[in-house]
Structure 1
Amino acid sequence: MNIEQFIQRTEVLHSRLADLYQTASVLPWIPPELLPQAFKELYSTSKMVQLAAEELYQQNEELIQTRNFLEVERQRYQDLFELAPDGYVVTNAEGIIQEANLAAAKLFNVSRQLLVGTPIVNFVNPEERQPFRLELNHLSQSDRFKELVVSLQKNHGELFNAALTVAVVRNQQGRVNSIRWQLRDINQRQRQKSELLNNEHDLIQDRPIHKHSKGDTISLNPLFIWYVRQGVVKLSTFCETGEEILIGLASQDMVFGSNMTSLPIYQATALSDVELVSIYVTEIATDPLLSHTLLPKINQRLKQTESLLAITGRRRVEERLHHLLQLLKQEIGEPVAEGTRLTVRFTHEDIASACCTTRVTITRLLGKLQQQGLISFDAKKYIIIRNS
């Protein structure tokens, strides 16, 4: 009998008892004091049973809702497990596979049905199985995530290096309930990285190259960004007094554009002969691989901008100049016999704007650094920073 049938029968019983009690109460030849006390108690008990049944019904409805919610959540996590890009398997404490997702089956080149019940050690390179078994025993004594690099073997015998992230799950008694394994093919990651490098080369393939001479102002268009193929571009803005403020340097393989800033005044100037390639913003938005390739370059620009902000925040001009030279050494420096030579010749005015000071002060401080032997100049007046 289900709960709804029970409630219906309870209601029928209560209704009949109510009718019987009402009838007995109004019969003229039966005095009220003659009604059996047990009959009254039976009616009262029936009422309590009816109320209890209604409460039970409400609780049952809440349990059904909770069960449906848990089922939705379980299915969601099951879908995440099944469709995860990395391989996932769940084993018992002895390493016998109990569950495996599609990526794991593809990784081992075997169906999931055959994976279940198979010891995970069977997929380890035979030469590494003994150390792996020892590691499996140690896992049962640990509660931390562990990272392993193991040579695994596909079903047809091909070996590949894999990074394993392992987590132990325990029950309330502290015993190992299961071990969860995340499997990543390192060889595949290396191939993807190689493909990414090839795609970087493809960025400038079959695209027109725009050449600018040193000192040229480069036009900016919010519809595209510039990719620097060769040379260095100075990015700057202007304050209310008309003074130029350096906000970035875009060197080879970096990107810049007016849509990458919120500044109302934004200027790009070639500090050397440069070659640029334009990439439309709409193209980036529709090509995930292109956006993935450009993201590290945009991140590089962001880090550089933060470094320049940190430099301007220093109190002493000497410190600003020192850290600016170190940043330029890192960004556009090339090794020479005397130290590191900046590949672009900066005017004292350029350096002064970056250090938020005057040209006269920079001329004096550069002369002081030269006297101390910390910097020098080559025949073309390029700064050489001595290695400390």
Structure 2
Amino acid sequence: MDINKIEIDVFVQRTEEMHKRLLTLYNSSTDTINLTPDKLPQTFMELGHASEIVKIATEELYQQNEELVQIRNLAETERQRYWELFESAPDAYLVTDNFGIIQEANRAAARMLNLSQCYLVGKPIANYVALEDRQSFRSFLRQLGECGNKTMELVLCFLKSNGDMFDTAITVAVTRAPQGQITEVRWLIRDISEQQGMLGDRHHKPVELPSVNQDRSLVENRLLHKYCKGETVPLNPGAIWYVSQGMVKLSTLCETGEEVLIGLAAEGMVFGSSLTSLHIYQATALSDTELSSIYLAEIASFQNLSHTLLPKINRRLRQTEAFLAIVGRRRVEDRLDALLQLLKQEIGEKVPQGSRLSVRLTHEELASACCTTRVTITRLMGKLQKRGKIGFDSKNHIIIIDI
């Protein structure tokens, strides 16, 4: 049984006992003092009123805990689905910290390096770079903090466990905390040994490849589907959507029929019913949006397409895990604060006061993501505004103020 539910049950039991004791005291006072109820001391009346308020509050708390468990289960299902996609991806994928220590590795990475996944975790990625490239690679690692959010591409020579060397093309992207420090580095690695002749002489050092719009294949020669703000985006199980412009809200429904926010697909991201195992999954345009459809059969047939899509699917996985972490926090205030920081990272735009969320989210939508009520979110948002932590622009978009 969930520990929160046990604690709430104990609290409810004690509240009911307190209510019974007050009722007994109330009745015995009437018999002893021989007064009618309207003549009883005001203290008893106030205690009775307070008892009723506590009783109602515990009922709401119990209901919110049940909803929180449901949302946590939904988010865990979504996270597991994206983890399976990460694991079964055809390309090698590594996640490291800012020092290059491997934290996660998929099966393709283990096959590429001829090592087990568990062995790779905790090892420096530099261990698997050829000796002639290692010094310049470490220099590249030290400079990661200065690259902003730019995605970089490198050509490196890697080593297998048996000593065999092979050339790779690597796509590198960093994830940052709200304060700007690097939290993790993501490495998509492709074996290009067969293409070595086309790449020319690398002079045995990492080089940045020519700037290429990798997303071009996701929009070129494809029909753009336009949806206005508030429109429902249809989901085809045989295809995924790529967001060329705008933003889409991803949500599901609880057993109570309430909508639960489980993700936001911004420009450059992908979504679709084939990327989730939730029975109820819906997409709604949060702004005027342009989407292009990519069929799963295409992804299976064209390797370059799958290379381009893998980092985008992983980004959705990371976002799903972030939403899961939010609903796992016990205090509503902490959930709201974590949600605002996530939104700042995902859809924040720099303004003089801080970061402005690029779309307007209602208190109802914020409440669904935090597993609480709209009234509670309205109260907490008012407190944050009074403390100078948030503000609003002329279009009522939230501004998270830098302090």
Smaller-chain TM-score range?
Answer: 0.5 to 0.7
Confirm whether residue 236 of structure 1 aligns to residue 251 of structure 2: yes
Taking only aligned residues, the RMSD between alpha carbons, in angstroms, comes to 3.1
Letter paired with 2:165: Q
Letter paired with 1:357: T
Which residue number corresponds to residue 177 of structure 1?
none
Which residue number corresponds to residue 343 of structure 1?
358
Q: 1 CA distance for matches of 2:210 and 2:289?
A: 27
Q: 1 CA distance for matches of 2:248 and 2:257?
A: 20
Confirm whether residue 334 of structure 1 aligns to residue 318 of structure 2: no
Stretches of structure 1 that go unaligned for 5 or more consecutive residues are: 1-142, 152-160, 170-179
Q: 2 CA distance for matches of 1:226 and 1:162?
A: 30
CA drift of 1:203 comes to: 1.6
The structure-2 alpha-carbon separation of the partners of 1:278 and 1:145, relative to structure 1 and needing over 3 Å to count, comes to closer
Stretches of structure 2 that go unaligned for 5 or more consecutive residues are: 1-126, 136-153, 170-195
CA drift of 1:184 comes to: 3.9
The structure-2 alpha-carbon separation of the partners of 1:144 and 1:218, relative to structure 1 and needing over 3 Å to count, comes to closer
Q: 2 CA distance for matches of 1:306 and 1:145?
A: 30
The structure-2 alpha-carbon separation of the partners of 1:206 and 1:358, relative to structure 1 and needing over 3 Å to count, comes to same
SS in 2 for 1:363: helix
- Within a 5 Å distance, the mapping from 1:1-388 to structure 2 comes to 147-149=131-133, 163=156, 182=165, 184=167, 188=199, 194=210, 197-388=212-403
Between the two structures, name the one with larger relative contact order (CA 8 Å, sep ≥ 6): 2
Letter paired with 2:391: S
Q: Is the 8 A contact 1:227 1:256 kept in 2?
A: yes
Which residue number corresponds to residue 115 of structure 1?
none
SS in 1 for 2:359: coil
CA drift of 1:302 comes to: 0.6
CA drift of 1:183 comes to: 6.0
The structure-2 alpha-carbon separation of the partners of 1:168 and 1:326, relative to structure 1 and needing over 3 Å to count, comes to closer
The structure-2 alpha-carbon separation of the partners of 1:354 and 1:185, relative to structure 1 and needing over 3 Å to count, comes to closer
Q: Is the 8 A contact 1:228 1:254 kept in 2?
A: yes
Q: Give TM-score scaled by structure 1 length.
A: 0.54
CA drift of 1:194 comes to: 4.2
CA drift of 1:350 comes to: 0.3
Q: 1 CA distance for matches of 2:220 and 2:155?
A: 34
CA drift of 1:182 comes to: 3.1
Deviations 1:163-214 (A, max 9, x none): 5668999xxxxxxxxxx5736478949889547x434223211111111111
Q: 1 CA distance for matches of 2:330 and 2:246?
A: 32
SS in 2 for 1:291: helix
The structure-2 alpha-carbon separation of the partners of 1:205 and 1:146, relative to structure 1 and needing over 3 Å to count, comes to closer
Letter paired with 2:355: T
Deviations 1:58-108 (A, max 9, x none): xxxxxxxxxxxxxxxxxxxxxxxxxxxxxxxxxxxxxxxxxxxxxxxxxxx
Q: Is the 8 A contact 2:246 2:289 kept in 1?
A: yes
Q: Is the 8 A contact 1:147 1:163 kept in 2?
A: no
Select the structure of larger CA radius of gyration: 1
Letter paired with 1:306: E
The structure-2 alpha-carbon separation of the partners of 1:228 and 1:191, relative to structure 1 and needing over 3 Å to count, comes to farther
Deviations 1:307-364 (A, max 9, x none): 0001001000001000100100010011001100000000000000000000000000
The structure-2 alpha-carbon separation of the partners of 1:386 and 1:183, relative to structure 1 and needing over 3 Å to count, comes to same
SS in 2 for 1:295: helix
The structure-2 alpha-carbon separation of the partners of 1:185 and 1:339, relative to structure 1 and needing over 3 Å to count, comes to same
Q: 2 CA distance for matches of 1:167 and 1:234?
A: 43
The structure-2 alpha-carbon separation of the partners of 1:165 and 1:297, relative to structure 1 and needing over 3 Å to count, comes to closer
SS in 1 for 2:399: strand
Q: 1 CA distance for matches of 2:310 and 2:392?
A: 36
Q: 1 CA distance for matches of 2:314 and 2:159?
A: 31
Q: 2 CA distance for matches of 1:305 and 1:375?
A: 24
Deviations 1:102-147 (A, max 9, x none): xxxxxxxxxxxxxxxxxxxxxxxxxxxxxxxxxxxxxxxxx99874
% identity of equivalent residues: 58
Q: 1 CA distance for matches of 2:388 and 2:380?
A: 12
The structure-2 alpha-carbon separation of the partners of 1:369 and 1:192, relative to structure 1 and needing over 3 Å to count, comes to same
Q: Is the 8 A contact 2:217 2:305 kept in 1?
A: no
Q: 1 CA distance for matches of 2:355 and 2:340?
A: 10
Q: 2 CA distance for matches of 1:287 and 1:212?
A: 28
